[in-house]
Chain A
Amino acid sequence: MSRPPVCRPARSSWALVALAGLGAAACDPADHGPRFRPAGSPTPRAGGTLRFAVKDSLHTLDPTIGYDEIGYYVLHPLFDTLVDFSPAGIDVVPRLARRWSISPDGLVYVFELQPGITFSDGAPITAAHFKFSLERALAAADSPFAEFLADIAGAREVIEGKAAACAGIIAETDGRLAIRLARVNPALLDVLAMPFTTPQRPEHVAAAGDQLRRRPDATGPFELDSWDEGNRIVLRRNPHYFRPQRAHLDAIVMLENIPRDTQFQLFERGELDAAEKLAAPDYLFVMTEPAWQPWVHHATVMNVFGSRMNVRIKPFDDRRVRQALNYALDKRHTARLLNGTTVPSHGILPPGMPGRDPDLAPYPHDVAKARALLAEAGYPQGFDVDYLTTHDEETEKVAGSLQSDLAEVGVRVHITVTSLATYQAEIGQPTRSAFSFASWTADYPDPTDFFDPRFHSRSIKPADSTNDSFYSNPELDALLDAARAELDPGRRDALYRRAERILYDDAPWIWDYHRVITEVTQPYVRGYELHPIWTRDYTSAWLDLGPGGAPVPR
């Protein structure tokens, strides 16, 4: 616990009060930079333990069930899949498959497995293990992944419990897996990069029973060392991993349930190696301190934030009202509230996503135009409307900003804050909430993961509707269906750009922003960048420490 005093001004208001009373602790306020520096190794150094923390709990290590951001922080290092996304990118690269072929009609995928791939106990991985895993995802009662595989021939029968085996998943030999689709799905390779598709052994799943959530059958560069639930999980290097040069760390430690302020304090004291989702004062501190800049990482992850309007409920059934609200929103306010960590949005596709039209400019802030459109629609004095949002620092801030922007054009927004579970139930029903916060994060980098669940009329349901704007447009449906069946990337992109334009004009959402995430690491953390899909993936990171494995003081 010994440490030199941390020497920088107090950031939190409580801390300021405390320090005013107690007198500033003795320290030199001149140096607010990192305490350490890289040792200067020109090549990746093996060994060491990387430590980071998260605010919430990790729920499960069962890849067929785990489906949240924190889960992916550990599932991705534990479980390899046929393919993966390139480091810090979204290109599909080989992982457990060394190569694959796709039939000209796009319906048959054949994967050849890497030689020598094993589970973490050294037992060989075969194509049958992939088949078992995919069928488990289709059949398991609480698997959230069945829909991702629904285009595979015979998948629907397994989902509905009419068949145990999926006819379209064929283990041709131990080293060769074929997947036959019932309809074209250009995003299949992206889906096969998700951790739930990792090979699993039926005997392990059966033997582990309800302990499977704690007993991962690792196939990735790391395996489970220990998990003190709610406190910390430790991953250690998998000695049987087929490509040992991919991982350098001896271990990765993730602390659970550490508040964001505390995370940054631990980071500054050198007890953590990385800190992300910084509280506003910590973020501003890091961003204004030049000595930290080389160790700050930014990435636009695949997300979108805004407000969704139920187009079946007045006054949002009128396109002019929806457009007016888009003109009324001042995206600069949101950006300022979120410390500039946003990219203004013109639609649902985030930057970097195929099919996104980079030339389509976001709605400008134009109060006169908004008022004119409202008047044209029969609301010259504006209107009162309830707005539902979730209990979260960011969403509450953004709702407040929206409220004040819309007040300028006479729209009086009444905000209700609720739990995520209540919010989801309310917005998923066609006759409930008319206006609410909305967001979407990619499972994989393909427009189908954004457009189809949010705006295809097929996704409208009487309850739990993912198309929660209840927007239905046959022209858009036809475009999305055509794009989904299109194998040529250029033509597909063109179709999605047309879809973007339609949604831009029809404005079922107030398009607001895409969130840029920021992480700061200790200077000795090397070989690491934020990933647009996995976010915090330390698999290939290494620690540039001094002799004896200690950080080198700056």
Chain B
Amino acid sequence: MIGTIARRAGWTVVVVWFAVTATFLVTIAIPADPARALVGPHATAKALERVRAHYCLDRGVVGQYGCWIARVARGDLGESYRSKRAVAAIIADRVWPTAQLALAAIALQLALGVPLGILAATRRGRWPDHAVHLASSIAQSVPAFVAGTVLLYVTAYRWGWFPIGGYGAGGWDRLAHLALPAMTLAAVGTAYYARLVRAELIDVLREDYVRTARAKGLPERIVIGRHALRNALGPIVTLVGLDLGVLLGGAVVIELIFAWPGLGREILQAILELDIPLILGVAMVSACAIAIANLIADVVQLALDPRLREPA
């Protein structure tokens, strides 16, 4: 098992390198001049030259890539063209808000989606199943920017139940600010988890060992909780890993609508301003988040399902 984990960890490094290099090549291919974007329309040719030299922009593609990789190897992600601030510091500021949003959304998805899925599976064909199906279809069909805008307008602006956007000062205030974006982000995920759990559980409930457990006279909650659900968890764990990785990379639309100061909003602004070091830094963090979350999901899968482990 340790060998398997080590090999997957090695692939994780390769995936991160590949993602970042691909991002770098895309930023280079864009027909735009970051130096001009940086110093504005009035700058002299001399000022442009100085800026290009300062940020290695006067070198070829390989030179620029080398310049950037050399910095990364020293643990330095460079500095943002726009703010002159260390990219690592910007990301450090943005990771925690994004992590709070991601963890809150995942927690809500699991807390609501799994029980709803169990309910639908165990009441298959009856009204709870239909209700979950209808609600999840609606939740999955409504785009986040619509759900977010409507929730913000109605519950925050009209009814005053929540603050109108922002990050809050900490403690309860932070929780109050977190609630709406987390709920919006969780809405689609909850629906997806409910449907997935329902489908997996229905399959598992047909298995012989479930019939055996029932035949033994075990209470239904033990049959579902201990026997069926555990075997239905595999795809859910994988999905949590994927979701967590993606959400840790930043939820652009939700962060924009709710003025949440996370990575998603940061990378959007960096792309619009062609702030290449920041784009690369955030891409690296996002790639790492996805790769590591997947690695953790793999490890959990290995722990849950002995069949996935290599023979000794």
Contact = CB atoms under 8 A, between A and B. Distances in A.
A391 B164 contact: no
B30 A213 contact: no
Given A142-B54, A419-B274, A5 B46 contact: no
Contacts, number: 171
B259 A258 contact: yes
Contact of B153 (A14, A57, A420): A14
B164 A266 contact: yes
A3 interface: yes
Interface residues of B, number: 59
A424 B33 contact: yes
A424 B45 contact: no
Interface in A257-285: 257-259, 261-262, 265-266, 268-269, 271
A425 B153 contact: no
Interface string A51-75: 0000011011010010100000000
A486 B83 CA distance: 39
Interface in B66-88: 79, 82-86
Contact of B83 (A18, A57, A160, A265): A57
A56 B41 contact: no
Q: Report which residue of B32, B93, B158, B163 has the largest number of chain A beta carbons within 10 angstroms of its beta carbon.
A: B158
A3 B53 CA distance: 55
B157 interface: yes
A453 B45 CA distance: 13
Given A258-B165, A265-B164, A10 B153 contact: yes
A461 interface: yes
B274 A421 contact: yes
A25 interface: yes
B40 interface: yes
Given A5-B158, A142-B39, A18 B150 contact: yes
Contacts of B157: 6, 265, 268-269
Interface in B241-264: 256-257, 259, 261
B85 A419 contact: no
Contact of A14 (B46, B54, B149): B149
Contacts of B31: 422, 425-426
Interface in A129-150: 141-148, 150
Contacts of A262: 152, 164-165, 257, 259
A469 to B, nearest CB: 14
A231 interface: yes
Interface string A455-483: 00000010110100000000000000000
B44 A60 contact: no
Nearest to B89: A229
Interface in B164-190: 164-167, 176
Nearest to A468: B41
A156 to B, nearest CB: 9
Interface stretch (B230-238, B265-273, B283-291, B304-312): B265-273
B154 A22 contact: yes
Nearest to A461: B45
Contacts of B90: 229
Interface string B121-142: 0000000000000000000000
A421 B50 contact: no
Contacts of A65: 84
A391 B154 CA distance: 29
B276 to A, nearest CB: 10
A141 B32 CA distance: 20
A490 B127 CA distance: 85
Contacts of A67: 39-40
Q: Report which residue of A5, A19, A146, A453 has the largest number of chain B beta carbons within 10 angstroms of its beta carbon.
A: A146
B76 to A, nearest CB: 12
B18 to A, nearest CB: 25
Interface in B8-55: 30-34, 36-48, 50-51, 53-54
Contact of B85 (A22, A229, A466): A229
Q: Report which residue of B84, B146, B153 has the largest number of chain A beta carbons within 10 angstroms of its beta carbon.
A: B153
Nearest to B165: A262
A430 B42 CA distance: 18
Contacts of B50: 141-142
9 contacts: A6-B157, A146-B43, A159-B44, A231-B261, A258-B165, A421-B36, A422-B30, A428-B36, A466-B41
Interface of A: 1-3, 5-6, 10, 12, 14-15, 17-19, 22, 25, 56-57, 59-60, 62, 65, 67, 141-148, 150, 159-160, 210, 213, 229-231, 255, 257-259, 261-262, 265-266, 268-269, 271, 391, 419-426, 428, 443, 453, 461, 463-464, 466
Interface of B: 30-34, 36-48, 50-51, 53-54, 79, 82-86, 90, 93-94, 146, 149-150, 152-154, 156-160, 163-167, 176, 256-257, 259, 261, 265-266, 269, 271-274
Q: 4 closest pairs, A vs B, by CB?
A: A421-B274, A421-B32, A422-B32, A18-B150
